Amino acid sequence: MAAVGVAERDLVVTLPATHPMARRSSLRLADLVDAWWIDAADVAAPLVALRSLAGTDGLRSAVFYEGTDAGGLLALIAAGHGLAVMPDDQPLPVGVVGVRLATPRLVYRIELLHGRHASDPAAWLADNLRAS
């Protein structure tokens, strides 16, 4: 199995516009250890991965969101139920802001997976996906 990168997007911390850290230009994951988080592994960065990156189990779940709709997650964030880490190209509703995550730098990467013998068609497809 081989992988070809198609796109990469920075991740941001999405938080209510009323949050005390909402006006910062960037945040460190360590700044948010005591914050309440929404555990939404199918829509946002999984908390288990963020805990590992932060080297702590201090990132606590306030809410478990089992849905796959980013709009539902963002509504929970706007209502003040917690924070999440999401791609920076996600359209944010009124009441939610995205603040760049300075440390660690996290990215959302889209890859095309293919077998070893499909490199020419996979490269063609990846090029066309990048162009769109």
* Bond into 104 cis (ω within 30): yes
pTM: 0.80
pLDDT attached to residue 119 = 66
Please name which of 131, 124, 128, 126 lies closest in space to residue 112, comparing C-alpha atoms.
126
In the chain, what are the domain boundaries?
2-131
* 13 against 107, higher pLDDT: 13
User: Average per-residue pLDDT in the chain?
Assistant: 86
For 57-68, letters b (16+ CB in 10 Å) and e give eebeeebebeee
Q: Which fold has domain 2-131?
A: D-Maltodextrin-Binding Protein; domain 2 (3.40.190)
Query: pLDDT (tens digit, 9 = 90+) per residue, 55-111?
Result: 877 888 889 999 999 999 999 999 999 999 999 888 999 999 999 988 777 777 777
CA dihedral 82, 84, 90, 92 (to 10 degrees): 20
